[in-house]
Structure 1
Amino acid sequence: MTARVGVITFPGSLDDGDAARAIRLAGAEPVALWHGSHDLDGVDALVLPGGFSYGDYLRAGAIAALAPIMAEVKDAAAKGMPVLGICNGFQMLVEAHLLPGGLIRNAHQQFIRRDQRLRVENATTSWTSDYDAGQEIVIPLKNADGGYIASESELDRLEGEGLVAVRYLGVNPNGSLRDIAGITNERGNVVGLMPHPEHAVEPGFGPDTSVAMRSGVDGLSFFTSAISAVVGAAA
């Protein structure tokens, strides 16, 4: 089977086209979905892409979390469908209470963009299973409201239950507590992260040479992982 992965476009989405391209390069069929719809068009997985949905009014992702299609996203997630939130999509997932915690303005109060070193902490989720636990990768990061926060007890729970999906290495770019770059739900089908794997899915869009930080293909395995999860579940 060819997996069909929906990419939801919200007003202000910037990276929906990049996400669709990443899905295609990973071997699946991208399906364009609209924020105002209640139809997921029979997709097997979902991506909430990066951008500035609704201009990031109120809080980043807060209005998008109330969009009509999010009711279907919540239902699908509850039934086990793989759902990935990237940057603004991660903000939507926490605002919709599909993931715990919150995301606030970067500690230095500035928009940041960089190739970011990460460590994959949990390689058992629907979106990280093609990585090895402890694997170090480099993918682009770009955000203004990327500081992950949660209560100390919630942070302890995330750490204790292995729900930290990826962690910043080398530099904490935005003040995220405990260097958390992305998390997963208990079931492992919903993952949110601030860095952008869809911008690191083919060689040459780097740098990816031996003398520079590598960001050519390190993000592709997020998408191949989900495809494997979908195909495996259907077998």
Structure 2
Amino acid sequence: MVTNRCITIKGTRDGLTLFMDDTCAFNDLLKELESVLSMNYIAENEQPIRIRVELGNRYITGEQEEKLKEMFANQQNFTVDQIVSNVILKQTALEWKDDTAIKLHNKIIRSGQELNIVGDLLLIGDVNPGGKVVATGNIYILGHLRGIAHAGSDGNKSSIIAASYMSPTQLRIANVMSRSPDEGDGGMMECGFVDRDSEQIIMDRISTLARTRSDLSVFERRIMNG
């Protein structure tokens, strides 16, 4: 590990990580970075070193980020993999919270009605034939799903659809669509998810999600277990 006044350099198996002191002035950081990049870290004709930049608790504007990238671009010895900061704008944080929040609705979705939400949907009620629910995240229905459900509407194929009683007109996850079930088909406590190998929607018991979607949150696992 090499330590300068504003920049600490740590070697890894993948290349170099540059830790930027978030208490230094940005202009001082740029001056020291210019000095660091001018050092001969690799011999001629070797592959460029991959760089990860850790900004710590420093927020940088788009213009400042472009200055950083430009400094690396002027050096043939380096290629930037990531520029990472612990800080984001409040508006970005609110949008992220909205995208990942679970939205609770206690109602029946009747024929001709459509419910669209951003994030995960927890519906306490039925989706009747001709009704439709759409969510950018997962869909959990504590009731009968007899209409249409579209999870991962913004393209997330890892989304799931789960229902207390599953007999949908149609299931859709991202751009993957399932056929309508045969007359009389349906099951208790079932879920639909996209199989990573076949790129098709698979129907199975909700309990299988602990294995197929181990990245689901604690709240989601609590729903699966009733």
> TM-score, normalized by length of structure 2?
0.28
Structure having the larger proportion of residues in helix: 1
> TM-score, normalized by length of structure 1?
0.27
Q: If you compute each CA radius of gyration, which structure gives the higher value, 1 or 2?
A: 2
* Higher RCO (Cα < 8 Å, 6 or more apart): 1
Structure having the larger proportion of residues in strand: 2
